[in-house]
Amino acid sequence: MATTNDNKDAITHMEQMSHTAGPQKVDAAAKFLANAHIENTSFTYEEERAVLRRIDLRVLPLLLGAYFFQQLDKSSLSYVSIFGLQKDARLVGKQYSWLGSILYLAQLVMQPLAAFLLVKLPTGKVIASAILLWGSSLAIMSACTNFPSLLGMRFVLGSFEAMIAPACVATTTMWWRRSEQTLRTAYWNAMNGVTFIVGSLFTYGLGHIDSDAMYKYQIIFLFCGLLTVVYAFVILVFMPDSPMSAKYLTERERYIATERLRANQMGVQSGVWKWEQVWETFLDFKTWCCIASGGISTFGNLIIKDFGYTNFQSILFNIPFGAIQVVVILGSSWGATRFKRKGVAIVCVAVLPTIGIIMMLTVPRKQKGVLLFGYYLVSCLAAITPIIYTWHVQNTAGDTKKKCTSAMVFVGMCTGNVIGPLLYSVDDAPLYRPGLIANLAMFVLVAIIALLIPMYLALLNKRHAKRREELGKSAVRIDESMLKKTEMTQGKGMELEEGQEASAPERDNGFSDLTDMSNEDFIYVY
């Protein structure tokens, strides 16, 4: 696909903006494009697809690994729960629940700092540093043998892990067009399911080790922690910080990788913290549509065990749990991309765990197979998360606002994960009714909010259309960033309907670091 007409003029305009408004006012992509030494600034659809393949082969696998190790390390508590952690560490009452909640409490507290660091520092270096620090924390946690020390290290672990999900979201918006972001987010989020499979196999094997020097949970913590530390150096060496600085791409490929993101109207990276965008984040209604989640995963293995299975059977039954998550995450995100209706996709997914919870609340305990099937249906809740991630970030522009909005989303997620484990207690075994009822209410709330958000987004699109008309632009704007592959190959691009005039290049706001509310060219997606 060729770039939009008068591309050079648009880049020149961005360069003028950087001189008139100050270098801090525009996105780093605008400066890169203005200074790029490229003779032919147009490129074909085939060239763009070739660059996309190179991005998918380098950046995406690194993201998959980063999120995999984050999920593996934080879930290690669930894996060791059935190997005598409570007895060996002398845990009583809700102490085990607090070990689950404290990690998310740390993530909640650290979200503002995570947002600030992701604006100010190179993303690749932030990811590598976070992985190294939380991997080291987990390895050190293998030396903890009582509740206070375990609680403290779980807090430290959560503090460093607070960086990874926002960093993955930021990286996704930095490298892929909006039409590509939902599936890429689903890919790295599906590592949550892969973790259940691989982590269960790790635990099954390590759980057979008998040592006089270490408890089983210490062996598992040490193994996972050291493996994570090794991966941190892989990220440090191979993860580029942005399309503009990716050394593994040629200069022309870096140009294409950056220019193709113009249609997003979201910018790439500014490196400047803007307080006006922070305030807009709090005043934007859709920011507060964050949906809390979680709670059942910390007690997953204990719930299965209380169905009447042995320790090792409980571990192995997590393998299909993870496989189901992977299938549902990828399937629902594909559907949301195919039909461009994320709200409907969330509602459809929410129905499955709702049925699962009802089964676990009503089916007699003697019917272990039916209860296990209900538990597997609950695993489908993981598919809601990546859709929420992309839905929020695709409807937000401005570097600071994007990072702050992601932080707010994760605050909502962490709040649910802090409260969730506390609604479950070993004293409620084997039914765990308070926690299950709370999760049921959450799934219903998720469906209701998912149906309401598109109505608000439609209203915002109407407001932007009115503003474009007032500014002398066409009220109708085709969102190039959400075009399907077939439409791109047909050269539709930013085509206008017959009789409409193209907006002047100097009015392009793609790399102006404007927020979605300030940029009349921004199109909200449903």
**Domain parsing of the chain, residue ranges:** 45-265+274-461
Residue 18, both tokens: 């950087």
Q: Is 269 left (phi over 0), alpha (psi -120 to 50) or beta?
A: beta
Distances (CA, A) of 328 to 222, 379, 468: 32, 9, 39
Nearest CA-CA partner of 109 in 389, 421, 409, 414: 414
Nearest CA-CA partner of 159 in 138, 143, 142: 138
Contact 178, 523 (CB under 8 A): no
Within 10 angstroms of residue 40's Cβ, the number of other Cβ atoms is 7
Residue 244, both tokens: 């503009």
More confident residue, 108 or 502: 108
- What is the band of 296 on the pLDDT scale with cuts at 50, 70, 90? low
- What is the band of 3 on the pLDDT scale with cuts at 50, 70, 90? very low
Contact 320, 374 (CB under 8 A): no
Mean local confidence (pLDDT), 331-345: 90
| Secondary structure letter of residue 507 according to DSSP | G
Nearest CA-CA partner of 30 in 9, 14, 7: 14
Mean local confidence (pLDDT), 239-265: 91
On the question of a cis peptide bond just before residue 122, with omega within 30 degrees of 0, the verdict is no
Provide the pLDDT for residue 241.
93
Contact 324, 193 (CB under 8 A): yes
Distance, in Å, from the CA atom of 190 to the CA atom of 381, rounded to the nearest integer, reads 12
Nearest CA-CA partner of 264 in 166, 389, 410, 390: 390
More confident residue, 100 or 305: 100
Is the pLDDT score of 495 beyond 70?
Answer: no
pLDDT in tens, 389-417: 888 888 988 888 988 888 888 888 777 77
Range with top average pLDDT, 311-320, 326-335, 396-405: 326-335
Distances (CA, A) of 98 to 86, 114, 147, 165, 421: 12, 23, 9, 22, 7
- What is the band of 297 on the pLDDT scale with cuts at 50, 70, 90? low
pLDDT in tens, 103-162: 888 998 999 999 999 989 999 999 999 999 999 999 999 998 899 999 999 999 999 999
**Owner of token pair 């870096």:** 254
Provide the pLDDT for residue 449.
87
- Overall size of the chain counted in residues: 526
Provide the pLDDT for residue 499.
38
Distance, in Å, from the CA atom of 261 to the CA atom of 157, rounded to the nearest integer, reads 34
Distance, in Å, from the CA atom of 274 to the CA atom of 182, rounded to the nearest integer, reads 27
SS3 (DSSP) at 81: helix
Q: Is 246 left (phi over 0), alpha (psi -120 to 50) or beta?
A: beta
Nearest CA-CA partner of 47 in 250, 245, 228: 250
Is the pLDDT score of 9 beyond 70?
Answer: no
DSSP 118-172: HHHS-HHHHHHHHHHHHHHHHHHHTT--SHHHHHHHHHHHHHHHTTHHHHHHHHH
CATH, domain range 45-265+274-461: 1.20.1250.20
Residue 205, both tokens: 């094997």
pLDDT in tens, 43-84: 888 899 999 999 999 999 999 999 999 999 888 887 777 777
SS3 (DSSP) at 35: helix
Q: Is 52 left (phi over 0), alpha (psi -120 to 50) or beta?
A: alpha
% residues pLDDT > 70 (the chain): 84
pLDDT in tens, 169-188: 999 999 999 889 999 999 99
Provide the pLDDT for residue 26.
67
Residue 424, both tokens: 């479950």
